[in-house]
Amino acid sequence: MNWAEFFAMKGYGFYVWGSYGVALLVLLLEIVLVRHKRTITLQQLRLMRDVGDEE
Partner 1 sequence: MAINWFKYSAPSTFYGLAGKLVPWFAWPAALLFCVGLYIGFFVAPTDVVQGEAYRIIFIHVPASILSMFIYLIMAAYAALGLIFNTRLSAMMATALAPTGALFAFISLWTGALWGKPMWGAWWVWDARLTSELILLFLYLGFIALQASIEDTRRADRAGALLAIVGSVNVPIIYFSVKWWNTLHQGSTIKFTGTSMHIAMQQAMFTMLVACWLYVIAISLVRVRSIILERERNTQWVKELAEIKQ
Q: Alpha carbon of 31 to those of 18, 26, 40: distances in Å?
A: 20, 9, 14
Give the Cα separation of 13 and 21 in Å (integer).
Answer: 11
When binding is defined by CB under 8 A, the residue of 2, 3, 4, 10 that contacts partner 1 is 10
Cα–Cα dist 4/15, whole Å: 16
Q: Does 37 bind partner 1 (CB under 8 A)?
A: yes
**Site for partner 1 contains 32 (CB under 8 A):** no
Residues that bind partner 1 (CB under 8 A): 6, 9-12, 15-16, 18-20, 22-23, 26-27, 30-31, 34-35, 37-38, 41-42, 44-46, 48-49
